[in-house]
Amino acid sequence: DVAVLQYQAPSLAAAFLASVFQGSAENALVLDVACGTGLVAQELQAKGFRHLHGLDGSQEMLEHARHKGLYEDLKLCLLGQETLPAPEGCYDATIIVGALSEGQVPSGVIPQLLLVTKPGGLVCLTTRNNSSNLRYKIELQQ
């Protein structure tokens, strides 16, 4: 479905992360939050990232992702209802694409993304550009 819609957020986000990442992409540990079926992981692998962990709130999506063989670790987590199942300061980069949106992942998750990312690491996220997501943009600016 997303191919028909020409959904570009995974490739754009992965390209941006790769363009600003300092150090070895091959050795970096990246957390793909709300990973779904692994669209972002496919793009990250194409950019040289090899160590990927993923989490999602849907067991079915995680099974699709698991079959692609792109992740070293996959976990089930209902974002906004559960704490991210990751140690503080663990990841070189954390990425969430297409899920920060009204009715999906709440903006209150953003501080958790920062917490599980190493000091000096990168957090890359996307959100939709519509009026219902104004709260996300305000929180990001803060």
pLDDT at 10 over 70: yes
Please tell me the distance from the alpha carbon of residue 125 to that of residue 123, in angstroms, as a whole number: 7
Lookup: tokens for 25: 């992409």
**The residue type at 69:** G
**What is the pLDDT averaged over residues 1-18?**
76
Q: Are 110 and 81 in contact (CB under 8 A)?
A: no
Confidence class for position 132, pLDDT limits 50, 70, 90: low
pLDDT above 70 as % of the chain: 87
Helices first, then strands: H and E counts in the chain: 5, 5
Please report, for the chain, the start and end positions of each structural domain, with discontinuous segments joined by +.
24-140
- Half-sphere CA count of 97, side-chain side, radius 13 A: 25
Provide the whole-model pTM.
0.90
pLDDT in tens, 24-78: 999 999 999 999 999 999 999 999 999 999 999 999 999 999 999 999 999 999 9
pLDDT in tens, 92-124: 999 999 887 777 888 788 899 999 999 999 999
> How high is the mean pLDDT of the chain?
89
| Cα dihedral sign, 18-91-123-78 | positive
Adjacent-strand bridge partners of 95? 32, 124
Q: Are 93 and 123 in contact (CB under 8 A)?
A: yes
CATH architecture label of 24-140: 3-Layer(aba) Sandwich (3.40)
